[in-house]
A and B are shown apart, each in its own frame.
Chain A
C-alpha cells in the first residue's frame, strides 16, 4: 500500500522533530506523479533549472511500475489513449521522448510502432468463448445488436460534436470541453440512468458501460455521472497515421516507462546536492506542511531513513502542490482560504487492487485463442488482466511473463471497500485477485510463480454526478500566486492526460 503509513501519520498529526536544514530554491514541486513531473518537464524545457521535486511516498505515483524476475510490469496506469487534438501538451511530451516521430500536432501523428499496442489488442471471455471485441456482435440477438449500433452511432456523433463556444463537446482535458448546457446537463444523472432513459436495454451494453466506468473511474456506472460515462467514449478521438482507430500506447511496465523518459528529459542532477541551484533536483521525503510565508511558500519535508525521521525546511518563491487532494487537505495550510472545503469538495476516491502474477509459463488458452494485451472477462469481478510481455518483438515465448490483474473495488461504497482491504487476509486478497484469471484458465496455478499485490486505497477520484460543478475543484484550478495546485484530482477524474494538463497549467503560470 504505497504511502499509507505516511499518509495516515499525517492525518493523525504525528509529532515531528524540528527542521535540521533550510533549503532555498525558486520553485518546489511537491509530489512526483504525472502532474508533478509534467510541471517539472515543462519548467526544464523552458530553461528553468532552479527547482526541486519532492518525490513523496511514491515516486511516479499512480504511474509507477515494478519488476518481477527481471520483467517490468505496471502497478498503476498501463496505457495512454492516442492523444486528442486538444492534448497538445501530451503530444509535445510524446514527441520529446520519441514516442511521436512525425506530425506531432496533426490529425494523425506517426507514433513509434513499438509502443502502439500490438495486435491482438483485447478480447472478451463470454460464456466460455473468447471474442475479439468487448461488445462482440455475433453473440447477441438482433434487437440488442441494433442497440449496440445505435450506441456506437451516438458516440461517433458525440466525438465530433462541437458546442456554440467552438469547443468539442467532450474533450480531454475535460477543462477544454464545451460549456454548452445541452451536454453539461448530463452531469445531473448517473450513466446508468442515462442509458435507461435513452431506451438501452441490452444486458451486454449495460455490462460494457459499467465495465468502462469501473475501469476508468473506479466505480460502477450507477454512481458515475452520465457526462463522465459519455466522456470516456466520446473524448477518445485521437488517431495515428500508423495504427487503427482506438489503438493505445503501452509499455511493459505501463506508464512508468513514459514517466521515466520524462525524468530523463528533465535531467535531474545526479546525487543529492540540493544546494546546487543550476540543475533540477529531486529529493525523497514527503511534505508535512505547506504554507504561504512572506512572498513565497514554506514546506516542511519529512525524510525517513531506517526508523529515524528528520525534517527539512524548503523556502521557495513558488510551490506547485502536486499531491492528491485528500493529502493536500491535511498538509496545506488553510485550504478553505483557497476555496476548498474538504468535507464537501473532496471527490469520492476509489480503492484499487493491482495483482501482478509472475508466470513461469503461459497457461493453456481455450480453443488456442491468441493471448491479447488486455483480456477481459464478461461479468467478471475484476477488470481483466494485461500481459507485460505483449509488446516484445519475439517469436518464442519469454521465459517469464507477468499478468497484471486490475480490480476497482466498487461493489460497495469506497469506505466499506477500504475497510475490507485493511482487514482482509492475504489469502482473501489473493482469492479476489485471481478471480478473473481462474475463469480464464483451468490450470492457472501451476503456471504461477509469485503474486505481488499493490493496494491503492485512494487510487483515483471518481466523477460522480455533479463533479463538473464541484466548486472546490473549480476554485483550486484557478489558484494563482506563490502556490499552485496540480493534480488529476482537479479534473474530478483520473487519467494521465488530465494530470499532465494541470502540471502544464501550473508550470505555464510560472514562466
Chain B
C-alpha cells in the first residue's frame, strides 16, 4: 500500500516536472519571441539541471532519503508554483533581468526535480523492493505522468487557466505529495510536525497566489498573456512589445498599450483631423512622438501638405515601423513617404535648435508618468512649441484620460493656457483605452468645430465631433495648477489619478 503511494507520487511528480518545463518554455517563447531557440535552450537547461540534481542526490544519506524527498517536494511546489507569476511580474516591471531570472528558475526547479526520482527509487530499494520490478514501475509511471501533462497542457490547462494558474496548480500537487507522503510514513521519519507546518505554509501561499492570480496577471501585462508576441525588443529607451490576437495587433511600450489595430483609427482620427480640417492651407506639420507612423498616416491624407517632420526619440521604433511588412501595412508606409522627414532626437532638445515654424504641431508623447516625461508637458516646453507654431496654426496634445485621470488631463489644459495658448479640450471613446483626451490649442481665440471632413473617415463626422467637444457632468474640470518644472504637478496628478483607478 505504502509503496503504491510512492509510485503514485512518482506519477504526480513526473507530471509536475514536465509541466514546469513546458510553462517555462512557453513563457520564454511568448515573451521573448524566437520560439525554436527559446524552447530548446530552456529544455536543455532543464534537463542538464535534472542531471545535476540526480548527481546531488547521492549526497543524501539513506536514512534521510524520505525526509529529503518530502522537503524537495515542498520546495518544488513553492518555487515551481510561483515561477510563472514571478516571471510575468519581472517581465512587466523590469525587462533587463528577465532572461537571467528565467534561466535561474529553470535551473533551480530542474535540480530539485532531478533529485526526486533517484530519491524515490532509493526509498523503495531500501524497503526491499526488487530492483528489476521497481525500476520498471517507477519509470513507467514517470513517463506516463509526462504523457498526461504533455496532452493536458496545450489542450486544457494553458487555454483555460493560463500559465500562472497552471503553475500554481502543479505547485499545489507537489505540496500535496509532500504532505501525503509525510502522513503515510509518519512513523519512519522524524520531525513530521515541522514538515506539516512547512507544508501548510506552502499550501497557503499557493492558494493565496491562486486567489489573487487574476489581479496579479492583470497587473502584470494582462494582455500579453495569451496573445502571441510578434516582436519584442529592449532599446536603450524603452521596451517594445508587439502582440497579435487574431486580427488585433497591439503595441506596448514599457508595458503600456499604445494602440490596438481594432480601434486605433478612432484615436488617430481624433488626434489629427479636428486641427487639420481647420487648417485648409496647411503645408508643414510637426509631429513630436508618434514613431508608429499612424498619426502621420492620417496627415498624409491631405494632399496639400508638403512636409511632415516626425521627431521620435527611439530609432528602433521608427525603423521597425518603416520596415516591418506587417506594421507598414498598418501605417500605409507613412514613414517612408517622400513628404515625411523622420528625425530621431529628444523632442525638447530638438526644438531648442530647430528654426522652422509649422502650421500644426501634433504632440503625441507617452503619458507623463515620470519627471523626465513630465518635462515635455511643462510651461516652458509649450512656450518653446509656441515659438515654432505659425501665427494661425494649431497645436494638439494627447493628454491622457479625462475620465480616469481628470486632474492630469485638466492640468495639461492649464499648462497650455499658462504658456499663452487658447485651448479647446476634447475627448473620444477608444474602446481599448477607455475615454481618451486631447487638447487643441492655438495662439488666437478662434476655432470652430468641423461639421464635415474633406478626407474620408472611419469614425469622425459632424455628430461625433460635437460629442467630442462636449464634456458631460461626470467629466467636468477639477481645480488644478499648471505643470511647472519647479513642482511637476502633472506627474503627481497623473500618479494619484491612476492610483485611484487601479486600486
Which of the candidate stretches A114-122, A230-238, A277-285, A447-455 sits at the interface with the other chain?
Answer: A114-122
- Among candidates A112, A244, A247, A394, residue contacting B348 with C-beta atoms closer than 8 Å: A394
CB-CB under 8 A from B236, the residues of chain A are: 396
A residues 65-85 touching B (CB-CB < 8 Å): none
Residue of B nearest to A246 (CB): B486
Do B348 and A242 touch across chains, with their CB atoms under 8 A apart?
no
CB-CB under 8 A from A242, the residues of chain B are: 379, 418, 484, 486
A residues 392-412 touching B (CB-CB < 8 Å): 392-397
Cα separation A396 to B235 with both chains bound (whole Å): 12
- In the complex, how many angstroms separate the beta carbon of A103 from the nearest chain B beta carbon? 15
Do B372 and A395 touch across chains, with their CB atoms under 8 A apart?
yes
- In the complex, how many angstroms separate the beta carbon of B390 from the nearest chain A beta carbon? 22
Cα separation A112 to B376 with both chains bound (whole Å): 16
- Among candidates A120, A240, A243, A395, residue contacting B375 with C-beta atoms closer than 8 Å: A395
Any B CB within 8 A of the CB of A336 = no
CB-CB under 8 A from A392, the residues of chain B are: 348-349
- In the complex, how many angstroms separate the beta carbon of B281 from the nearest chain A beta carbon? 31
Cα separation A394 to B373 with both chains bound (whole Å): 8
By DSSP majority rule, is chain A's interface helix, strand, loop, or mixed?
Answer: loop
Cα separation A161 to B70 with both chains bound (whole Å): 76
- In the complex, how many angstroms separate the beta carbon of B196 from the nearest chain A beta carbon? 38
Any B CB within 8 A of the CB of A431 = no
B residues 467-499 touching A (CB-CB < 8 Å): 484-488
- In the complex, how many angstroms separate the beta carbon of A248 from the nearest chain B beta carbon? 10
Any B CB within 8 A of the CB of A370 = yes
Please count how many residues in chain A sit with their CB below 8 Å of the partner chain's CB atoms: 21
Any A CB within 8 A of the CB of B272 = no
Do B486 and A247 touch across chains, with their CB atoms under 8 A apart?
yes
Do A393 and B371 touch across chains, with their CB atoms under 8 A apart?
no
Any B CB within 8 A of the CB of A46 = no
Do B348 and A395 touch across chains, with their CB atoms under 8 A apart?
yes
**Contacts A114-B380, A119-B371, A370-B370 given: A395-B346 contact, CB under 8 Å?**
yes
Do B378 and A113 touch across chains, with their CB atoms under 8 A apart?
yes
Residue of A nearest to B374 (CB): A119
- In the complex, how many angstroms separate the beta carbon of A198 from the nearest chain B beta carbon? 32
Do B485 and A394 touch across chains, with their CB atoms under 8 A apart?
no
Do B375 and A118 touch across chains, with their CB atoms under 8 A apart?
yes
Do A370 and B485 touch across chains, with their CB atoms under 8 A apart?
no
Do A244 and B486 touch across chains, with their CB atoms under 8 A apart?
yes
Return the CB mask of A121-162 against B: 1 if under 8 Å, else 0: 100000000000000000000000000000000000000000
- Among candidates B237, B313, B346, B380, residue contacting A113 with C-beta atoms closer than 8 Å: B380
Cα separation A227 to B265 with both chains bound (whole Å): 67
CB-CB under 8 A from A119, the residues of chain B are: 371, 485-488
- In the complex, how many angstroms separate the beta carbon of B6 from the nearest chain A beta carbon? 48
Cα separation A395 to B345 with both chains bound (whole Å): 10
Cα separation A120 to B370 with both chains bound (whole Å): 11
**Contacts A370-B370, A394-B348, A394-B375 given: A116-B381 contact, CB under 8 Å?**
no
Residue of A113, A118, A240, A393 with most partner-chain B CB within 10 A: A393
- In the complex, how many angstroms separate the beta carbon of B184 from the nearest chain A beta carbon? 47
CB-CB under 8 A from B381, the residues of chain A are: 393
Do B349 and A394 touch across chains, with their CB atoms under 8 A apart?
yes
Return the CB mask of B350-379 against A: 1 if under 8 Å, else 0: 001000000000000100001111011011
- Among candidates B365, B376, B485, residue contacting A118 with C-beta atoms closer than 8 Å: B485
- In the complex, how many angstroms separate the beta carbon of B451 from the nearest chain A beta carbon? 38
Residue of B nearest to A240 (CB): B486
Residue of A nearest to B371 (CB): A370
CB-CB under 8 A from A244, the residues of chain B are: 486-487
Cα separation A118 to B489 with both chains bound (whole Å): 11
Interface of A with B (CB < 8 Å)?
112-114, 116-121, 240, 242-244, 247, 370, 392-397
Interface of B with A (CB < 8 Å)?
236-237, 313, 346-349, 352, 365, 370-373, 375-376, 378-381, 384, 418, 484-488
Instruction: List 18 A-B pairs, Cβ < 8 Å.
Output: A112-B380, A113-B378, A114-B485, A116-B486, A119-B485, A120-B371, A121-B486, A242-B486, A370-B371, A392-B348, A393-B381, A394-B346, A394-B349, A394-B372, A395-B313, A395-B348, A395-B373, A396-B237
Sorted from nearest, which 9 A-B pairs have the closest CB atoms? A393-B348, A243-B486, A118-B485, A113-B380, A116-B486, A119-B488, A393-B375, A394-B346, A114-B380
